[in-house]
Structure formats: C-alpha cells, structure tokens
C-alpha cells in the first residue's frame, strides 16, 4: 500500500511540474500583471512595455492587456527584435494572464537551426498535436484538454489563435468565442519557426491561449462587477438628497 501511495504522490508531483510548463518565455498562464512585468524586466532590462486598464463606473480598475517591445539598438547591424502581447481576465477571476503571443527575430550572428528550435518546443510542451515542414519553415500546434494530460493528436487545424484578432481582454466577444471553442481549442499553443534554405532560423512566433477556464472566469468577473455596482448604487442612494416636492 505504501508503495502505491509513493507512486501516486510521484505522479501528482510530475503532473504539477508539467502544468508549470504552460508559459511562453516564462510568461505563464495564470500570472498577474505585476508578475509578468517582473519577469519581463528580468529578461529585458532595456525593453519597453505598456499595459492598459479597464475601469468600472464605481472606480474599480484592472489590467486588461499589455504589450512589450525590444530592439537591441546597441547592435543596429546585428539586431535582435522581440514583441509580446498579453491578455488578462477580470477582477472576479483573479485578473490573471490567459493569452500570450511572442514574435522574436533572431540576431543574425546567433541564429539557431530551425530543427533545434522545434526540438526545444517539443522538449517544453511535449509531442505536438500536429506539425508540418515546408520551405525551411516548421509549424506545430498543441491542444491540451486538461493541464495534466499530454497534447491530443489532431487531424485538422482549429483556428484558435488568430494572427489579427488577439484578445484585448476578457470581454463579451472573447467569452463568446471561448464558449464556442473551449472543447475544440482547450489550452492551445501554436509555434512557427521561419527559416532559410540553409536550415537556420530567422524568426520564431509563439502563441498560447487557455480556453479551458474562460467561460467560468467570465461568469466570475460578471458576478464581481454586479456586486461592485450594486454596492456602489446602495452607497450613493443612501446618501442621496430627498426627492423634491411634486
């Protein structure tokens, strides 16, 4: 019996460790904005970043989205370039990161091979749900139905991370998309390594979005908003002036 318990504990620890790998360059799903900024400043002390907040009429505000920009201006002829985007849930669900996107242009003098970049992605996320190679480029996707299981194999490509419609936060539009695609997309990762005919990588594009929790998070956010607005309404009406004579 004790051996079984030890095995189960080991499996649980392994699963938890695997869940911690759901990140893009350390920007992990579930982080708050302060944690994202701290991580970014550690990685890119000279990088630029900005975050946008949404605000309720009663005064509560939260980080809805953010972006970063890094250009190695000290080496204009051998420049590394990076952009990142982030999207966060509302206050009721913890104001946590649910989507991240990264575009990295490698320094010309330090370009890795496309195969080594793909191998690093497999080492991080496991075997992909689907992948393809063409003209020096490698593309791969991972679809997880839970944070404790391996990626599922897919026969077709679900458009879970668009190139032009990255979410600006957890609003009605994103929540509707999540309710329709939670089962299809799960926690979804897409990696594209663009290279040249010699096999060296030029750019790396990575996107990650967790559809699994969004419908529940949106409900929690809405409930929190209603409670805050109702409380503000109660405070304001209790201190309101009396009605005039009619």
pLDDT tens digits, 52-109: 999 988 889 999 999 999 999 888 889 999 999 999 999 999 999 999 999 999 999 9
Query: Considering the domain boundaries, does residue 8 fall inside one?
Result: no
Average pLDDT over residues 217-225: 94
Query: Considering the domain boundaries, does residue 218 fall inside one?
Result: yes
Query: Considering the domain boundaries, does residue 85 fall inside one?
Result: yes
pLDDT tens digits, 113-123: 999 999 999 99
Cα–Cα distance, 112 to 133 (Å, whole number): 16
Query: Considering the domain boundaries, does residue 138 fall inside one?
Result: yes
* Strands (DSSP E) found in the chain: 23-24, 27-28, 48-55, 61-71, 81-88, 97-105, 130-134, 137-144, 187-195, 201-210
HSE-up (13 A, CA, CB side) for residue 77: 0
Sorted by sequence, the CB contacts under 8 Å of residue 94 that are 6+ apart come out as 32
Residue 122: CB atoms within 10 A of its CB come to: 14
User: In the chain, what percentage of residues exceed pLDDT 90?
Assistant: 70
Is pTM beyond 0.95? Reply is no
Query: Considering the domain boundaries, does residue 213 fall inside one?
Result: yes
Query: Considering the domain boundaries, does residue 1 fall inside one?
Result: no
Buried b (16+ CB within 10 A) or exposed e, 187-216: bbbbbebbbeeeebbbbbbbbbbbbbbbee
Poorest-confidence range of 6-10, 141-145, 198-202, 214-218?
6-10
Beta pairing partners, 66 = 51, 86
Q: What is the pLDDT of residue 10?
A: 40
Query: Considering the domain boundaries, does residue 6 fall inside one?
Result: no
Residue range of the domain that includes 157: 19-235
pLDDT tens digits, 129-173: 999 999 899 999 999 999 888 999 998 888 898 767 799 999 999
The three-point CA angle 166-113-129 to 5° equals: 50
Query: Considering the domain boundaries, does residue 173 fall inside one?
Result: yes
Number of domains in the chain: 1
């Amino acid at each position: 019996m004790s051996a079984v318990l030890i095995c189960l504990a080991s499996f649980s620890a392994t699963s938890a460790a695997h869940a911690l790998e759901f990140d893009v360059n350390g920007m992990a799903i579930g982080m708050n904005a302060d944690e994202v900024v701290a991580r970014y400043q550690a990685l890119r002390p000279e990088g630029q970043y900005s975050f946008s907040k949404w605000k309720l009429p009663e005064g509560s505000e939260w980080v809805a989205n953010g972006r970063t920009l890094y250009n190695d201006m000290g080496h204009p002829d051998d420049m590394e370039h990076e952009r990142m985007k982030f999207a966060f849930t509302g206050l009721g669900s913890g104001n946590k990161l649910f989507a991240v996107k990264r575009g990295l242009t490698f320094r010309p003098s330090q370009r890795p091979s496309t195969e080594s970049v793909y191998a690093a992605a497999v080492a991080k996320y496991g075997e992909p749900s689907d992948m393809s190679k063409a003209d020096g480029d490698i593309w791969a996707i991972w679809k997880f139905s839970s944070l404790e299981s391996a990626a599922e194999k897919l026969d077709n490509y679900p458009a879970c991370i668009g190139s032009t419609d990255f979410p600006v936060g957890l609003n009605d539009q994103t929540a509707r998309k999540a309710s329709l695609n939670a089962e299809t997309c799960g926690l979804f990762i897409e990696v594209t390594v663009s290279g040249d005919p010699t096999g060296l990588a030029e750019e790396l594009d990575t996107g990650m979005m967790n559809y699994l929790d969004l419908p529940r998070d949106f409900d929690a956010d809405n409930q929190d908003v209603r409670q805050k607005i109702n409380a503000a309404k109660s405070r304001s009406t209790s201190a309101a002036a009396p009605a005039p004579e009619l």
